Structure 1
């Protein structure tokens, strides 16, 4: 029976298998990767940015598209395009755990794909915590140089972490304000 399988059927089955497994991997791997790779005892909270999930989703979509492309037609051009899609997917999957946001005892660290920005508590003049019943809460860190850093709460910051941030703000004489934002 195995000899009777058409290659297009094999590629479709593989694409469907990847499609079934992908959501679970996309939800778990970015969190585990950031928590494992960037663990530090000084972290109050380690936030996985939404772009990590988006990149991993794009990686899986590239693999699925390559498999469907190969199920549709197999010639030199489609093989070349499928290889390029898989390589691009590999790059996206490699970059997906490369960014994080860490709130630490020393300050705030924001790591992008190729840069790390550190803001010390002594560089901050205010922290605004805006919350709403319908929207995720936002933190706005105001710096002495006029720059503002916005963080959207994504469930990784609980009331305990918020309390530690408040105590660090008080310890460093930073104005901390909590306000309910207007619901639309």
Structure 2
């Protein structure tokens, strides 16, 4: 009964396996990201961006689609399509490692996909935390002495990050203001 090897069954079971293990990948991705990223744990705070979890989910879904295509039909066009989907999966998985915020004693660094913003604390002039009363919707606006600004959503920073931003701003004589967001 099970003497013949079936590629369709193999690819179907591989797709089911990816579906089963995708939640675990999403759960452990931030831990792996923090463990394998090189930074000084004593003086720095590394915060992966929440969008990374969605990117891992999308990569898993693209992989499931690729395996489903291979389970359904195998010819040159399907192999080429599967190869493109595999490259897309690897690319999306790579992008999930490129979104983070690092707050250290020397600087604040934010990577969002291919956009990198990095400011030393002595280059900053003001930090403003604007919030909406009764919700967790707020954002940090960092203003450099050159007038440049960058904004970080409160969703990207957990309580330890908020505390560290406040203390490092005070430590470096940077104006820190908390105010209600105007509607």
TM range (shorter): 0.7 to 0.9
- Aligned residue for 2:102, secondary structure, equals strand
Q: By how many angstroms is 1:99 displaced?
A: 3.5
Count matched residues: 181
Q: By how many angstroms is 1:66 displaced?
A: 0.5
8 Å CA contact 1:128–1:140 kept in 2: the answer is yes
Q: 1:127 to 1:35 in 2, by over 3 A?
A: farther
Counterparts in 2 of 1:95-134, with a 5 A limit? 95-111=95-111, 116-132=116-132, 133-134=134-135
TM-score (norm 1): 0.81
8 Å CA contact 1:127–1:177 kept in 2: the answer is yes
Partner in structure 2 of residue 92 of structure 1: 92
- What residue ranges of structure 1 are gaps of 5+ in the alignment? none
8 Å CA contact 1:34–1:97 kept in 2: the answer is no
Counterparts in 2 of 1:138-153, with a 5 A limit? 138-153=139-154
Partner in structure 2 of residue 21 of structure 1: 21
Deviation above 4 Å: which 4+ runs of structure 1? 112-116
Q: By how many angstroms is 1:61 displaced?
A: 1.8
8 Å CA contact 2:103–2:161 kept in 1: the answer is no
Q: What CA distance in whole angstroms lies between the structure 1 residues aligned with 2:180 and 2:112?
A: 30
Deviations 1:2-34 (A, max 9, x none): 336743333223212211211221232134313
- What residue ranges of structure 2 are gaps of 5+ in the alignment? none
- Aligned residue for 2:173, secondary structure, equals coil
Q: What CA distance in whole angstroms lies between the structure 1 residues aligned with 2:80 and 2:20?
A: 25
CA RMSD of aligned residues (A): 2.6
